[in-house]
């Protein structure tokens, strides 16, 4: 009996797990979210975010195509207007040259008039921006120097934009609403800045005498005409009015026609 009691009081043996049996995984506690990793390279953004991203990319592509189309139309229209003038120009010819459907011209510019204004504004915007910056940056500088730099900037502009000169030659022949728009918005502001500088340079003896408006039109003719007649110049002189070397010679020649150096001892030289 004693032996039986001793056996009953012995602690029970623990069962040893057999080799090959995996221990049970602990169960996740309540409230603990299981994090799943997405396969490498896959987009894990919510479907709504992905759709919004796709829409944004598609919108940007449409915007780039629209900008490219407008530029092609304007480039083709610049050639068309310069060769045929406004009245002779055709928006259908512009579309053909740009390689687009004709309906896109009206879609982007509404009409031939709208296209014309877009062309002229595009060409002049860069020049007018530089012109205004020059005026602002040269405040306090001697009027003769300011005038010289502004006139030099104009020669560079017309050298790089001969088709603009040709359009203006067509447009200036007779009065029109288009010419009135050009004069009020684009041309008069330039003359309003240049003519007082001419008057000031004349008073100091550094500019040829004459009516400032007349002299400025003579300056425009002298600086622009050779670029408009480049084919004739090549046929007659055997060279083209192009390149950096020619441009610098042209600038020097044109400025020398109008700017003067007062003689020593003269009243103008002492000012």
HEC string for 179-222: HHHHHHHHHHHHHHHHHHHHHHHHHCCCECCCCHHHHHHHHHHH
Nearest to 268 by CA among 218, 208, 192, 194: 208
Locate 139 and state its tokens.
């405040």
In three-state secondary structure terms, 259 is strand
Pick from 241, 125, 143, 239: which is nearest to 196 by CA?
A: 143
- Cα-based angle 180, 186, 188 (whole degrees, multiple of 5): 75
**pTM above threshold 0.75:** no
Q: Can you give 74-125 as a three-state secondary structure string?
A: HHHHHHHHHHHHHHHCCHHHHHHHHCCCHHHHHHHHCCHHHHHHHHHHHHHH
pLDDT for residue 271: 54
What angle do helix axes 244-258 and 212-228 make, rounded to 10 degrees?
Answer: 160
Closest of 116, 230, 107 to residue 162, by C-alpha = 230
pLDDT in tens, the chain (271 residues): 444 544 445 545 545 444 444 455 555 444 444 444 544 444 445 655 555 565 655 556 666 777 999 999 999 999 999 999 999 999 999 999 999 999 999 999 999 999 999 999 999 888 888 888 888 888 889 999 999 999 999 999 999 999 999 999 999 999 999 999 999 988 999 999 999 999 999 999 999 999 999 999 999 999 999 999 999 999 999 999 999 999 999 999 999 999 999 866 556 555 5
Q: How many residues does the chain have?
A: 271
Q: Is 220 exposed, middle or buried (0-12, 13-18, 19+ CB in 10 A)?
A: middle
In sequence order, what are the beta bridge partners of 207?
A: 259
């Amino acid at each position: 009996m004693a032996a039986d009691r001793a056996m009953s009081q012995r602690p029970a043996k623990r069962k040893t797990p057999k080799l090959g049996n995996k221990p049970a995984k602990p169960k996740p506690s309540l409230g603990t979210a299981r994090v799943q990793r997405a396969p490498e390279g896959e987009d894990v953004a919510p479907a709504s975010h992905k759709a919004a991203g796709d829409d944004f990319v598609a919108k940007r592509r449409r915007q780039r195509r629209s900008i490219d189309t407008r530029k092609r139309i304007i480039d083709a229209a610049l050639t068309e207007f310069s060769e045929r003038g406004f009245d002779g120009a055709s928006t259908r010819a512009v579309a053909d040259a740009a390689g687009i459907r004709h309906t896109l011209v009206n879609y982007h510019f509404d009409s031939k008039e709208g296209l014309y204004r877009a062309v002229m504004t595009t060409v002049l915007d860069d020049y007018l921006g530089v012109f205004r910056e020059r005026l602002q940056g040269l405040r306090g500088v001697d009027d003769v120097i300011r005038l010289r730099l502004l006139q030099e900037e104009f020669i560079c502009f017309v050298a790089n934009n001969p088709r603009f000169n040709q359009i203006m030659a067509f447009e200036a022949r007779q009065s029109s609403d288009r010419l009135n728009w050009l004069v009020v918005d684009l041309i008069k502001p330039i003359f309003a800045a240049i003519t007082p500088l001419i008057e000031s340079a004349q008073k100091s003896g550094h500019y040829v005498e004459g009516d400032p408006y007349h002299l400025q039109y003579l300056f425009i003719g002298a600086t622009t005409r050779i670029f408009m007649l480049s084919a004739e110049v090549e046929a007659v002189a055997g060279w083209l009015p192009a390149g950096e070397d020619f441009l610098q010679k042209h600038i020097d020649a044109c400025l020398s026609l109008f700017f003067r150096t007062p003689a020593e001892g003269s009243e103008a030289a002492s000012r």
